[in-house]
Structure 1
């Protein structure tokens, strides 16, 4: 009689030479407990040592006289002993440095692992638990997800009840993508970080709560935040919209410095060859209209002196360049009642010669004589 699992011999009552049966059982245990095999792909060695264990490969049965494919072959007392494994047995194989498991038909490498959850062909490593810890060994620790090539995906998928709602990773290129999904099938690109430049592309929109700040910490003369319009925007690079039912769309540009020498806000509008500045000036010494704050428009080319066009403050408006009035012939004068009194035009063929005219709210009158233009 033998044990049902490992086929170990029982000692019988009144049995003679019990030590023989006992030693046979110990030898079998030595072969099958914590099994370590030299190889699972080698022929029978020419000079085996007692204690050597091999897994018999199906392709080399001729070298293993009397063995069946998959047998555990153990060298004991100068002879080979063969044991047929049961499904689920495992063995560490030295020449490949891996553990192999017998599935009932053949030995195979252990290519999946489940901890409280069954693995499958897609999820080779499966774990169920409240948390997972990947700890350090006294220094750094990195979790690596590697893909074969650029067109493949290396990503983390976030699911709820097995439905994916977010994905972060290298999705079909080398850029970092952040995607979201309602149904786990169709994903919307939320953010993309270009791997070459580090630029961030917002897929849909950026929803900022009240009081949020976008801060530039640059200290150089050219530091600042740039908004670069793409070709799809046409001539518009920046739009400021108000989606609320009340209020206006606008932007506040404020100077928070406590230094009175830089108490101003300046804007530059630059084409490929020219630059025009708009400034709000609060320094009295630089105001030309008699008061502050003063709204200024001036021209500046490559750091040259400011060439002022307009200055305006609560005290006065100062035009520092000639004003050109829109030109009309008498026959094409617009309806004066459509314009506020005091509105100016230039009449190119007035009776006394070309000259400005103004609207009194009803008709156009020549500035020189106040006579009605006719």
Structure 2
């Protein structure tokens, strides 16, 4: 009998188990950590001194303290303390520190490069002020959202 799910390693209930709510709540806490994850920082080795409920980090290669033995894991602060989730190949997080995504390739976390920079229109024989203004506005919006480099 399996004790956890294959991919997310969520604890499973077993027949005749006492206090099933504990196992169920643990699974919910891990799902909350793993679905649409957003991390404060990638590669931090020491737990922050005062994390807010729901904040998460990708643990660095040399973890210490409460994070010891959890290198590369997703660490989330919950009402019950730290929860850890081991990533699998293809697991992605939004990194708030650099406003970009990071992807776990099965061995290590890799930050995805932002899209190439796009220059605003300039020069040319025929100047269309309205088109230039619209294109400039679209580029500014995409840069503000982190979709392209500035």
TM-score band by shorter chain is 0.5 to 0.7
Q: Residue 36 of structure 2 aligns with which residue?
A: 34
Change (3 A) 1:19 1:99: same
TM-score between both structures, scaled by the size of structure 1: 0.29
Q: Residue 118 of structure 2 aligns with which residue?
A: none
Equivalents in 2 of 1:57, 1:106: separation in Å? 10
Change (3 A) 1:84 1:77: same
The Cα shift of 1:81 comes to 2.2
Equivalents in 2 of 1:88, 1:112: separation in Å? 18
CA contact (8 A) 1:50 1:78 kept: no
Q: Residue 241 of structure 1 aligns with which residue?
A: none
Q: Residue 7 of structure 2 aligns with which residue?
A: 5
Q: Larger helix proportion, structure 1 or 2? A: 2
Q: Larger strand proportion, structure 1 or 2? A: 1
**What CA RMSD, in Å, does the superposition of the two structures yield over aligned residues?**
2.4
1:95 aligns with 2:109: no
Tell me, what secondary structure is at the counterpart of 1:140? Answer: helix
Alignment of 1:233-252 (within 5 A): none
Equivalents in 2 of 1:93, 1:63: separation in Å? 23
Alignment of 1:99-248 (within 5 A): 99-111=101-113, 140-141=134-135
Alignment of 1:294-313 (within 5 A): none
CA contact (8 A) 1:56 1:67 kept: no
Query: Can you give the 5+ residue segments of structure 2 that lack an aligned partner in the other structure?
Result: 116-132, 140-150
Change (3 A) 1:3 1:78: closer
Equivalents in 2 of 1:63, 1:141: separation in Å? 50
1:19 aligns with 2:21: yes
Q: Residue 57 of structure 2 aligns with which residue?
A: 54
Equivalents in 2 of 1:40, 1:81: separation in Å? 16
Larger Rg: 1
CA contact (8 A) 2:100 2:114 kept: no
The Cα shift of 1:15 comes to 2.2
CA contact (8 A) 2:30 2:83 kept: no
Bigger relative contact order, structure 1 or 2, given CA contacts below 8 A and separation 6+? 2
Change (3 A) 1:67 1:93: farther
Tell me, what secondary structure is at the counterpart of 2:43? Answer: coil
Equivalents in 2 of 1:101, 1:78: separation in Å? 27
